Structure 1
Amino acid sequence: MDVQEVLQCADNLVFAKTEKHLDHLQEAILRGTWQRQKYPEIAKACHRSEAHVKKVAAKLWKLLSETLGEDINQSNFGYTVERWLFSNSFSITGNNCVQIGKVSCDPSHYSKVSESTLYEDSSNEPTSNTKPKVCQDLSDAPEPNLFYNRTSELTTIQNWILGRTRLITILGLSGIGKTALTLQLISQIKHEFDRIIWRSLRNSPPLASLQTDLIKFLSQQQETELPYLIDYLRSHRCLIILDDIQTIFSSGQLAGNYQPGYENYGAFFKQITESSHNSCLILLSWEKPREIAALEGENRPCKSLQLNGLGPEAQEIFREKGLAEPEKWSELIDLYRGNPLWLNIVATLIQDLFGGSVSEFLSYDTLFLGDLESLLHQQCDRLTASEQQVISWLANTPEPADISKIPENLQLSPPELLKVVQSLGRRSLVETVKQNGRSHFTIQTVIREYIINKTRSKN
C-alpha cells in the first residue's frame, strides 16, 4: 500500500464519520506520519507552527480512533495500517470501497469537493446545483473573537471586492481588529468565490514555499510539476488572505523594507495587482508594503484600509467584563483609542486592581499600561534610530507638531525628517491632524506614555 492509498483509505473513513474530507494539513500529517516524520518536520514542511500541527493531529487521531474502535496515534499509525493490510479485517473491493472491520465506506456515494475543507461552508441553506460549495481552508486563521460593529469598513471592503479590486491591504496596530474584521468579511462574501484560503506568514515562509502551498490547495490536487499561481487566479475566483505580513519586513529599517531574500514578495504583490484575473488577495499587516503606495488609487485595483479604533460599540467590552459606572466608559474608550485588545487588557486590570471601578482607575494621573507594554514593545522595537528620535520628540510635544520647525537636537535634514515621519505613519504610530490649513503630527496617548516610560527607564 503506497501513501496515496493510505490517504484515500483515511479520507474514506473520515468522510464516513463526518461527511467531510481530509483537509490539506490533515493529509500532510498522515503523509508525514506514514513516512516516519516527527511533528517538527511536518510543521516545517507545511509552514505551520508545531503547536498548531499537534493540535490538528490530536483531533485527527481521536476521530480515527472513534471511527475504528481502537486507539490510533502518531506512533502506532503506520503499524496499525500495515496490520490492517495483512489481516482479514481489511479489504478494498470494487470502486475502491474500503472495509476495515465493521466499518465500510464507498467513495462512489460522494464526490471529493475539496481536500482542504476544515472550515468548509456548512450553513443550513438548501444546496443548489447552480451554487456549489465554497472550498475553504482557514486552518491558519486565529479563533474568531467577538465581533464589534464595523458596518462601514465591511461595506467599503465588500464594494472593493465586488468592484474587482485585486489587492486589499488592511493596516493597523496589533489588536485593532484586522483579523476579526476579515473573518466577518469572509462569512458575508464567501459565495462570491470558488476557493478561500488563509495563510499566516508568522514563520516567514519563502515566497516559493508559500506559492506551492497555495497552488496545491487552489488546484485541489497534488501535482509533480506545479503551474503558476496566476493561472489558478484566472481559472477560478479565489480569495487569498495573508496575515502577519510585517514578519517579512526588516527590523531597524524604515517601514516596508523586506528582509534579505524576501524582496520577491514585492514583485509578487505587484503581479497580483497588475495581472488580469478575477481573484483577490487581502494582506493584514502592522506595516504597509512599500510597493502598495505606488499601486493603489481611486480607480486602480489596489486599495488600502487603515483600520481605526471602535467608538461607542466598544462599551460592549466593558459590559462583558462587568465594569461599573457606564457613564465613565466613553472616557476610557478615548484614552485607549478604541483598540479592542487594549480595552480588554485595561478592563481586566480595572477589574483585578480596582474592583471594576472606572472612576478610581481614572483618578490616577499616570496612564496605566500593564500588559500593553509588551505589545507596544514588539512594534516600537522595530524602529530605526531616526524613528526613535522623532517619536521621542513627538511624545514630549503635548500639541500636534509642525515638522517644518525641526528641533536642533534631531539633527535631521527636512527630506530625512519627511521620510521618517512617513515611515512612522506606515507603521500606524503617527497620526496627521490639520491645523490652520497645515499638516501637524501627533501620537496616541498610549504610545506617548510608553515612549516616555521607556525613556525614563534608560536614564
Structure 2
Amino acid sequence: MTQIAAKKNLSEAPDISSFYGRTQELAELQKWLTQERCQLVILHGMGGIGKSALARRLVDKIIHQYDYVIWLSLASAPPFSEIILKLMQFLTHGEQEADDIAPIMRCLHRHRCLIVLDSWEELIEDESENYTKYNNFVEIVAQESHRSSLLLLTRKLTHNIDILKGKLIRFKKLTEITPEAARQIFLAEGMSGTDRQLAELSQRYRNPLMIKVVAQQVKRVFSADISPFIDMSVFVGDAITKFLDEQFQGLAKIEINLIYWLAIRRNSATWNQLSHDSEQFLSDQQLFQTLNNLIARHSFISNNVEDIPTIYILDPVILKYTTERFVHEIFREILHLLNYQNLQGSELLITHSFITQNPQDEELNQEQMRRIVKPIQKMLVAKLGSQQQLKDELTQVISLLQYQGLSPGYAYQNISQLISVCQ
C-alpha cells in the first residue's frame, strides 16, 4: 500500500456507480468544508433519501484537499472504544493506540483530516455511557479549535446534536430529489415510457431508494414499461411498506398520531386545522413541538411556505402508506370494540375523525369517505359477512355508548359515519 493510499480509508463507505441531481446541496457542502473550514457538518434526512450517496460523492470531490480521510459506519452501534482505536491506528499508520479522545484531537490539530461518521441514528437507542462518549467526542470536535472536519450522517437529530451552536457548525437537511433527478434515475434503471408518463412518475416518487424499489418491480412485472404502471396511482408495495414500517418504529406515538391527522386532511392541513382536530388531546405547545420534531429531526413532514397560511404536507408515498396504515389500525380497533363492547384499546377511533367537519370543503370530505370510511367498511363487511350484520353490530355499539353516557372524542361520530355507508 502506498503512503497516499494509507491516508485514505473509504472501505466502509458505499459504492456509487451513478449519481444524479443534488448539485446545489453538493456545492453548499463543499463550500462549508473546504472554504469555510467548518469543523462539524451534520447531514440529516429520512432513510433512503440519499445521504450516504451524496456524502460519498462529496468526499470523492474534495478528498485531495485533506491529509487523512476516513469513513466509519456506525450501523452496528460499535463501542466508542472500537471507533477510537480505528481512528488512532489510521491516523498514526498503526503505530499508536488510544483509549481516550486527547490523542485523536492532537492528530486533528497537526493534520487536515476529514472523518465521516455514517448512521449516527443507530446510537440513539443506546442511551448509555457509550452514547455519551460519542456525543462528547462530537462536541469537542465541534468546539475545540483545530484544522479538521467531522461529517455526521443521520436519519434524525438527537437533542444534544441539535442544540450545538458555533460559527464552524452547519446543519443540512436532505429532502426529496427534484423531478428531473428522479427521471434520470428511472431512465438509468431502464424504465421506458412517454415523456409525459416519465414526468408523472417522477413527481410521485422522489426518494431515491423508493425509486429503485419501484423500478425493480416494474422491470419484473411489466418488463420496464411504465405505461400500465402509471394507471395504478401511487404504489406502495411490500418492500416500500417494510421500509416505511422501519422508519415509523423510530417515532413516538404522539408523532405518529400527528402524521395520521395530516393524512386525514389529505395534505391540506394548516396550523389552525391541526390545532382544531387535536385540541381535545394535544396542547398547542405539544402540537408545535411535535411538528418541529417531524419536520426538523425526522424529516417526515414538509411545509409549503409558499402558501399563506403554511400548509403541512407528506410525500405522496408516505401519504398513501400512512392512510393505509391508519385504515388497518382502525379496522383492528373496531373488531376489538365489537368483541369486547368497550372502548379500551380504541385510541385512534377516539382521537381521529374520519371526516373533518368543514362544510366548505365538500371535495375533501368525499376524498375522506373514499380513502378512509369506505375501505374500513369493506374490511369489516368481509370479516362479518354482510353489511346488515355490520350495521346491526355498530348500532349496538352506539346504543351502548349512549347508555353508558360515553361519547369520548370522535368515537360516536366515526361509528355513525360507518353506519351511514351500510345502506
Tell me, yes or no, whether TM beats 0.5: yes
Task: Tell me, yes or no, if structure 1 residue 268 matches structure 2 residue 140.
Answer: no
Q: Distance in 2 between matches of 1:275 and 1:189?
A: 23
Q: How many residues align?
A: 321
Task: Tell me, yes or no, if structure 1 residue 235 matches structure 2 residue 85.
Answer: no
In 1, are the aligned partners of 2:84 and 2:98 still within 8 Å (CA)? Answer: no
Q: Which position in structure 2 is the counterpart of 1:137?
A: 9
Q: Distance in 2 between matches of 1:206 and 1:331?
A: 46
Q: Which amino acid aligns with 1:313?
A: A
Query: Offset at 1:172?
Result: 1.8
**Which of the residues 417, 424, 431 maps onto 2:287?**
417
Q: How does 1:276-315 map to 2 (within 5 A)?
A: 276-296=145-165, 300-311=167-178, 312-315=180-183
Q: Which position in structure 1 is the counterpart of 2:184?
A: 316
Q: Distance in 2 between matches of 1:248 and 1:375?
A: 19
Where 2:72 maps in the other structure, the secondary structure is strand
Q: Which position in structure 1 is the counterpart of 2:120?
A: 245
**Which of the residues 324, 347, 350 maps onto 2:218?**
350
Where 1:291 maps in the other structure, the secondary structure is helix
Q: Which position in structure 1 is the counterpart of 2:30?
A: 158
Q: How does 1:368-383 map to 2 (within 5 A)?
A: 368-383=236-251
Change in Cα spacing, 1:224 to 1:174, as seen in structure 2 (3 Å) is: closer
In 2, are the aligned partners of 1:390 and 1:410 still within 8 Å (CA)? Answer: no
Q: Which position in structure 1 is the counterpart of 2:395?
A: none
Q: How does 1:39-188 map to 2 (within 5 A)?
A: 113=3, 117=5, 135-162=7-34, 163-188=36-61
Query: Offset at 1:389?
Result: 0.8
Greater percentage in helix: 2
Q: Which position in structure 1 is the counterpart of 2:254?
A: 386
Q: Distance in 1 between matches of 2:64 and 2:306?
A: 45
Q: Please say which of residues 363-372 and 161-170 is displaced more in the overlay.
A: 363-372
Q: Please say which of residues 287-296 and 445-454 is displaced more in the overlay.
A: 287-296
In 2, are the aligned partners of 1:432 and 1:440 still within 8 Å (CA)? Answer: yes
Q: Which position in structure 2 is the counterpart of 1:445?
A: 316
Q: Distance in 2 between matches of 1:365 and 1:444?
A: 14
Task: Tell me, yes or no, if structure 1 residue 259 matches structure 2 residue 127.
Answer: yes
Q: Which amino acid aligns with 1:199?
A: L
Q: Which amino acid aligns with 2:263?
A: A
Change in Cα spacing, 1:354 to 1:192, as seen in structure 2 (3 Å) is: same
Query: Offset at 1:225?
Result: 5.5
In 1, are the aligned partners of 2:175 and 2:299 still within 8 Å (CA)? Answer: no
Please give the per-residue CA displacement for 1:195-228, whole angstroms capped at 9, x wherever unaligned. Answer: 0000000111232332222122112233355643
In 2, are the aligned partners of 1:369 and 1:446 still within 8 Å (CA)? Answer: no
In 1, are the aligned partners of 2:45 and 2:173 still within 8 Å (CA)? Answer: yes
Task: Tell me, yes or no, if structure 1 residue 432 matches structure 2 residue 288.
Answer: no
In 2, are the aligned partners of 1:140 and 1:200 still within 8 Å (CA)? Answer: yes
Q: Please say which of residues 446-455 and 261-270 is displaced more in the overlay.
A: 261-270
Change in Cα spacing, 1:159 to 1:293, as seen in structure 2 (3 Å) is: same
Query: Offset at 1:145?
Result: 3.6
Q: Distance in 2 between matches of 1:423 and 1:342?
A: 23
Structure 1 unaligned regions, length at least 5: 1-19, 22-112, 121-134, 251-257
Change in Cα spacing, 1:436 to 1:221, as seen in structure 2 (3 Å) is: closer
Higher relative contact order (CA 8 A, sep 6+): 2
Q: Which position in structure 1 is the counterpart of 2:83?
A: 210
Where 2:151 maps in the other structure, the secondary structure is strand
Structure 2 unaligned regions, length at least 5: 332-423
Q: Distance in 2 between matches of 1:148 and 1:381?
A: 29
Q: Which amino acid aligns with 2:155?
A: W
Q: Distance in 2 between matches of 1:318 and 1:280?
A: 35
Please give the per-residue CA displacement for 1:380-421, whole angstroms capped at 9, x wherever unaligned. Answer: 111111111111111111133223424247611111111211
Q: Distance in 2 between matches of 1:305 and 1:245?
A: 15
In 2, are the aligned partners of 1:201 and 1:247 still within 8 Å (CA)? Answer: yes
Q: Which position in structure 2 is the counterpart of 1:104?
A: none
Where 2:227 maps in the other structure, the secondary structure is helix
Q: Please say which of residues 410-419 and 270-279 is displaced more in the overlay.
A: 410-419
Q: Which position in structure 2 is the counterpart of 1:26?
A: none
**Which of the residues 187, 194, 199 maps onto 2:67?**
194
Change in Cα spacing, 1:326 to 1:173, as seen in structure 2 (3 Å) is: farther
Query: Offset at 1:443?
Result: 1.2
Change in Cα spacing, 1:229 to 1:393, as seen in structure 2 (3 Å) is: same
Q: Distance in 1 between matches of 2:202 and 2:57?
A: 23
**Which of the residues 211, 231, 235 maps onto 1:363?**
231
Q: Distance in 2 between matches of 1:168 and 1:158?
A: 10
Q: Distance in 2 between matches of 1:444 and 1:410?
A: 27
Q: Distance in 2 between matches of 1:265 and 1:137?
A: 20
Q: What percent of counterpart residues are identical?
A: 27
Where 1:288 maps in the other structure, the secondary structure is coil
Query: Offset at 1:423?
Result: 1.5
Q: Distance in 1 between matches of 2:309 and 2:294?
A: 19
Where 1:170 maps in the other structure, the secondary structure is strand
